[in-house]
Amino acid sequence: MTRWPNTRTLACWIAVGLLSPVGLHSQTGGSTPYRDHAALLSAVDGLRRAHPRLIEVSTIATSPGGRAVPAIRLGAGATVDSRPALLIVANAHGPHLLGSAIALGALEHLASGYGSDTAITALLDRTTLYVVPRLNPDAAEALFGTPRWERRTNGAPDDADHDGATDEDGPLDLNGDGFITVMRIADPAGEWRPDSLEPRLMRRADAAKGETGGWSVRTESRDQDGDGVALEDGPGGTDINLNFPHDYPWFRAGAGLHPVSSPEARGLAEFVVAHPNIAAAYVLGPQDNLMSPWKHRAGSGGGAPEGTSQGGPYTSVLSADEAWFGEVSTRFKRITGLTGTPPAEALGGDVLTWLYYHMGRFAFGSRGWWIPDTPPPSDSTARGAGAARAAGGVGGAGGAGGAGGTPSPDPMIQERKTVAWLDAHDPTAVLPKTPIQHPDFPGQLVEVGGMRPGATLNPPAPFADSAVTQHTRFITELAGMLPQVAWRDARAESLGRNAWRITAQVANTGFLPTRAAIGERARWPRQIKVSLTGNGLEVAGGRAIQLLGTIPGSGRSEELSWVVTGASGTTVTLRAESPVAGTAVTTLTLR
């Protein structure tokens, strides 16, 4: 499944392997790459102290639960904040601890390689990484608490059921196993029945085929506020990965009061605004465009082109950007060796699409790890494609049964493979069903069981470790793909009597264009600013200061020319600077 790193990086990986377990908070008793909030902060602090010249840490937000959201800057030299940078954002989706592990693992690997590994040293001398390892600390912490559960929302109190009380009716660990799982209630009117091939799974009975159910299925809880409904007002708050403004899901549970209403989302927004040198981003979360690269679709602007006042927002990647996403996807698969199609979460309100559609950056997303050999869903772009898992009754606390979404032909194929894989590799993940006495269902058989929260997102240590290795390689390569301006062929030509024609080319020697097509529309990243200066020079033709459009990568260039007047022997300085593509300066002498 994974290709081992080449021998040069192998040494570093052994070192990382020795470092990582130290000081880790343990979930299960053994070593684990997953850290709770305190362990994460202490790991970040440890990195900062180990590499004081490479790493600076800031806090971009404090969650409603009072947890700091750190951002780590990694880079060598004095110009760290004014040269091309890669942003890594992880764990906006609360239960996705693997994202944090990858982000920190990559950080650790790169920081330790500086000075000994020539490729890493060159990279960190030229490029900066900004890493936000855990954007949703309140939700992530729920996988470390008692009971443990898959929480998506932050700790902001919320009166979801409008009864004047906040967060009074959430999940409860009824069987005392330390996990919030699923309960099934024997119920002649129930719509659920055990799967015939894997009886530990529940599936919806098909009434049109004459199937009876016999069970109803709900998240483990009871009606704590006596309003006749359970789970209608659970803890929190805002799901940070639903709180961003591109295609924001207004009024959806967990989406928050409005886009960017949470301090975490606002903290990231302000951070990106304050760092115009971010050229590209890598988002670790449920949204993927690396295994299934984004495709442009003909617009639905109702007659007017998308991306305009009349046509409204873009609903798919711009056609001019499609090839770049395709090529990075190809490289991603080659670099990581990953195969299969991870279960895709719908786009909208998430970090990844916001970074592309609104902030104009090349933004790439991956889930990091998934149960291998997952067959592709019938429509990978369909909204609610995740409904099949919830419908299987083995998901976490996502609410009682998911009625929405279009079911795949047989969602159980994937469910059965998930269970089989977990049986083989993570044997404690599928929990046995235990009978309980349930106060809301007196006299009815109620059983609690299902899957350990987070099990399908966060694999056991060996798998997580190889995911860290794979994605660190990709992150390293991606940081090397950023645009880079350079001067080429600058020359001065005498036009007689102190008049000169100056010509030069501004080239982009990096792989990515200086701006994505979406960036040209979004007006950031900023354009390349070119200036021509020299003592006593008058610019007669051309502009002393000008802004250039996009220069595609791989050595493409734009030719500029000026006519100036000045004395022979004058030194002319040409300067091209772009926050996302660096600064290039060249001089020439008039003669």
Partner 1 sequence: MRLHSLTGSWMTLGIVALLAVPPVTAQQPLGNLAAVGAPKDPKVPVMWDRYYDHAAIGEIGRRLQEAHPNRCRLGSIGKSTEGRELWLITVSNFTVGDPDRKPAMYIDGNIHSNEIQGTETSLYTAWYLCEMADQVPALDSLLNDRTFYIIPSINPDGREDFLKRPNSPHSPRAGMAPRDNDGDGLIDEDGFEDLNGDGHITLMRRRNPNGRMITSPEDPRLMVPALPDQPGEWEILGFEGIDRDGDGRVGEDGPAGSYDPNRNWPWRWMPQYVQGGADLYPTSLAETRAVIDFVTRHPNIAGAQTYHNFGGMILRGPGMRQDEFRPADVRVFDRLGEVGETILPGYKYMVVWKDLYTVWGGELDWFYGARGILTFSNELWTPFKYFERPPENNRYDSPEYAFDRLLLFGEAIVPWTRVQHPQFGEVEVGGVKKQYTRAVPGFLLQAENHRNMAFTLYQASQMPLVRVDSVAVRSLGQGLTEVTAMVGNKRLAPTHTQQDVENKISRPDWISITGGEVVAGFVVEGAPLGTAVEQKARPERLKVANIPGMSSVTVRWVVRGNGPWTVTADSPKGGMDSRPVRR
Instruction: Give me the least distance between CB of 320 and partner 1, in Å please.
Output: 14
d(CA 513, CA 303): 30
Residue 217 DSSP class:
E
d(CA 294, CA 288): 9
The residue among 377 and 519 lying less far from partner 1, judged by its C-beta, is 519
The residue among 192 and 248 lying less far from partner 1, judged by its C-beta, is 248
Instruction: Give me the least distance between CB of 186 and partner 1, in Å please.
Output: 22
- What's the CA angle centered on 590, arms 532 and 547, to 5 degrees? 15
The residue among 260 and 317 lying less far from partner 1, judged by its C-beta, is 260
The residue among 121 and 315 lying less far from partner 1, judged by its C-beta, is 315
- 293: exposed, middle or buried (Cβ count in 10 Å: 0-12, 13-18, 19+): buried
Cβ within 8 Å of residue 410, ≥6 positions away: none
- Give the dihedral sign, CA 255/260/261/264: positive
Structure tokens, 339: 């195969």
Tally Cβ neighbours within 10 Å of residue 228. Answer: 8
Residues in the chain: 591
Instruction: Give me the least distance between CB of 338 and partner 1, in Å please.
Output: 32
Residue 21 DSSP class:
T
The residue among 243 and 469 lying less far from partner 1, judged by its C-beta, is 243
Instruction: Give me the least distance between CB of 228 and partner 1, in Å please.
Output: 4
d(CA 87, CA 128): 9
Instruction: Give me the least distance between CB of 106 and partner 1, in Å please.
Output: 27
Instruction: Give me the least distance between CB of 64 and partner 1, in Å please.
Output: 14
Instruction: Give me the least distance between CB of 208 and partner 1, in Å please.
Output: 31
The residue among 279 and 481 lying less far from partner 1, judged by its C-beta, is 279
Instruction: Give me the least distance between CB of 351 and partner 1, in Å please.
Output: 12
The residue among 48 and 529 lying less far from partner 1, judged by its C-beta, is 529
The residue among 63 and 469 lying less far from partner 1, judged by its C-beta, is 63
Instruction: Give me the least distance between CB of 258 and partner 1, in Å please.
Output: 4
The residue among 153 and 262 lying less far from partner 1, judged by its C-beta, is 262
Instruction: Give me the least distance between CB of 523 and partner 1, in Å please.
Output: 5
Instruction: Give me the least distance between CB of 489 and partner 1, in Å please.
Output: 25
Structure tokens, 243: 């709180």
Structure tokens, 79: 């110009």
The residue among 15 and 522 lying less far from partner 1, judged by its C-beta, is 522
The residue among 276 and 326 lying less far from partner 1, judged by its C-beta, is 276
Instruction: Give me the least distance between CB of 259 and partner 1, in Å please.
Output: 5
- 472: exposed, middle or buried (Cβ count in 10 Å: 0-12, 13-18, 19+): buried
b/e string for 12-41 if b means 16 or more Cβ within 10 A?
Answer: bbeebeebbeeebeebeeeebbbbbbebbb
The residue among 39 and 548 lying less far from partner 1, judged by its C-beta, is 548
The residue among 33 and 349 lying less far from partner 1, judged by its C-beta, is 349
- Give the dihedral sign, CA 238/267/91/413: positive
The partner residues of 89 in beta bridges, in order of sequence, read 132, 283
Cβ within 8 Å of residue 35, ≥6 positions away: 24, 25, 43, 97, 100, 101, 104
- What's the CA angle centered on 73, arms 33 and 265, to 5 degrees? 80
The residue among 251 and 496 lying less far from partner 1, judged by its C-beta, is 251
Helices in 51-133 by DSSP H: which ranges?
97-113, 118-126
Structure tokens, 371: 């149960």
Report the interface residues with partner 1, using CB under 8 A. 159, 162-164, 226-229, 245, 248, 250-251, 257-261, 266, 269, 273, 302, 307-313, 357-358, 521-524, 526-527, 529, 543-547, 577, 579
b/e string for 415-428 if b means 16 or more Cβ within 10 A?
Answer: bbbbbebbeeebee
Between the alpha carbon of residue 426 and those of residues 165, 452, 458, the distances in Å are 40, 10, 11
Instruction: Give me the least distance between CB of 58 and partner 1, in Å please.
Output: 19
DSSP secondary structure of 339-383:
-S-PPPPPPSSSHHHHHHHTT--EEEEE-S---TTPPPPS-TT-T
DSSP secondary structure of 288-306:
-SSSS--------STTSPT
Instruction: Give me the least distance between CB of 308 and partner 1, in Å please.
Output: 6
